[in-house]
Amino acid sequence: MGVPIFITAVTNCCWIGADNCVILGILGTDLSWISKVQVNHPAVLRRAQQVQARRTVKKEWQAAWLLKAVTFIDLTTLSGDDTSSNVQRLCYKAKYPIREDLLKALNMHDKDITTAAVCVYPARVCDAVRALKAAGCNIPVASVATGFPAGQTHLKTRLEEIRLAVEDGASEIDVVINRSLVLTGQWEALYDEIRQFRKACGEAHLKTILATGELGSLTNVYKASMIAMMAGSDFIKTSTGKETVNATFPVAIVMLRAIRDFFWKTGNKIGFKPAGGIRSAKDALAWLSLIKEELGDEWLKPELFRIGASTLLSDIERQIYHHVTGRYAAYHDLPMS
């Protein structure tokens, strides 16, 4: 029997299998149990090493998995020099992520392969909505909000930012939490804050960014994940992409186990989005493998899994080009957008 990844002193817990536990108490506003949860750090690291050491798929199987990975990408631009024109080009790339001749060679040209969403700053939501409408596609627009990336603005301002992004046409909102609430153990305050984010989103999907590189410990990552899900998040997301440390496998394992625990207790499936530092096709395959092993095939769909990335698509298309032609593309053969 393996060493449990999650250890808790809560009396009403039950061991499921060899390496995780499920809190069996009522998931409500009584959050006293959260302070007693601990994460077995060495066990998480061992599991992460297993994932990273695994060999990837090859040839046509690799091409198939890479095309699937494209459909999970939230194609992102979050730069200070974003303009309406580069957002328009990004939206075009979101609709046509892989060159048509390459898709035809794979007999996938009629499968309507697009990215899962386009992610921009709130001020660029209108640009993205117009560009996607002009392109005749229904790819959703995601907007970061709540003082991204630091989350250090007044709560009233953060809530208004959500409402304005939704009014402009964003159907998904990627919010950042106030990290100080996690670092000081103010779990009820964090719960209340995210509940207000949830209300401000209305019908839009709420993706809660934990900024795990700034939470101090894997135990805090698990606790914050549970609070975010209890407060009504549709997705939990690793990072803003602006932290020193972004999406890592140890953090992902802890968040995925929290999602699994939450599902076993409530029956609700919560999505997962790694973001930051995912740049290569090999990285994408490793993330898909991890989701398949930890949560199963049910989570391998855009409704429950996304990859936040700005440069990943370029390498995926490059690998597809190599699979079809037997050589790597020159830079000008596959312009990003």
Residue 99's Cβ-count burial label (10 Å; 0-12, 13-18, 19+) is middle
Residue 69's Cβ-count burial label (10 Å; 0-12, 13-18, 19+) is buried
User: Could you write out the DSSP letters of every residue in 176-196?
Assistant: E--HHHHHTT-HHHHHHHHHH
Q: Are 151 and 178 in contact (CB under 8 A)?
A: yes
Buried b (16+ CB within 10 A) or exposed e, 246-282: bbbbbbbbbbbbbbbbbbebeeeebbbbbbbbbebbe
Reading the block at residue 43, the tokens are 């066990």
Strands (E) across the chain are located at 6-8, 13-16, 20-23, 37-39, 73-76, 117-120, 141-145, 172-176, 205-209, 235-237, 271-273, 307-309
Q: Are 253 and 276 in contact (CB under 8 A)?
A: no
Residue type at 199?
A: K
Residue type at 169?
A: G
Neighbours of 22 (CB within 10 A): 19
142 three-class SS: strand
Using alpha carbons, list the distances in angstroms from residue 253 to 44, 48, 58, 182, 242.
Answer: 7, 7, 25, 19, 21
Residues annotated as catalytic are: 174, 237, 273
Beta bridge partners of 305: 272
Instruction: Give me the residue label for tokens 């802890």.
Output: 254
